Amino acid sequence: MALKVIGAGWGRTGTESLKMALEQLGFDRCYHGFDLMNDGRKLQYWKQMHEEGKTDYDALFDGYIAAVDTPAAYYYKELMQQYPEAKVILTVRDAGKWFDSAANTIFKRPPPVKYAILKFMGRLSKKLSYVPLIDEHLQDIFFEKEFNGKIDDKQAMMAWFNQWNEQVKNTVPAHRLLVYNVAEGWGPLCKFLDVPVPAAPFPQTNTKENFQKRVERAIFSPTGARV
């Protein structure tokens, strides 16, 4: 099943709201970072993507027709090449607000005690055994290498964020790209995807207040983040 939509926007730019919006518009299912936490078996494909520039896309995205958030956004170029008909959505927001949100969510490491408990529980649960491996991989690829270990430096991270967005704009052909703030609602998104505007309100989810609950649900719930 080929991807029809690729999200190139970084986490904390409304990627979960976009995921839910896409699924309401018929692009169901949409892969999100929470899906990796829910099914750590897919980590092998992301590692291969990083090391070789390609992977078994059919296995990675089995059952999905869209992909947003980290890690998919980081590999938008590879995904564009694999799916030349797919459209690309760059979710954006003010760089300072992005950093403040990220600092309170995706940049936070689990407390050492909780991390140790997860590792212990991983001996009893195959699903939980992947959690530390996912965390270590993301830490290495993004926090240490891509961000140069500067996640506590607001000015450096704001500059990185703005540079990332400009790179996407300069890379993706204009006819394939939507630069999108989820605060704009259905209008620009539906026009870009050439679908009718739904009667339902645009989804607003994953605030920093409930981010940790969403993470824990993805990890511990039998049905994962879709609950």
- The per-residue pLDDT for range 77-123, each reduced to its tens digit, is 999 999 999 999 999 999 999 999 999 988 987 666 665 666 655 55
- The per-residue pLDDT for range 118-171, each reduced to its tens digit, is 665 555 666 777 788 888 898 899 988 999 999 999 999 999 999 999 999 999
59-70 in b/e form (b: 16+ CB < 10 A) is: ebbeebbbbbbb
Pairwise CA distance, residues 114 & 122, whole Å: 12
Taking the whole predicted model, whether its pTM rises above 0.85 is answered as yes
* Predicted pLDDT at 216: 52
Q: Please state the domain count of the chain.
A: 1
Pairwise CA distance, residues 182 & 27, whole Å: 17
Residue 67 lies in domain? 5-226
What's 173's domain CATH number?
3.40.50.300
- The per-residue pLDDT for range 154-164, each reduced to its tens digit, is 999 999 999 99
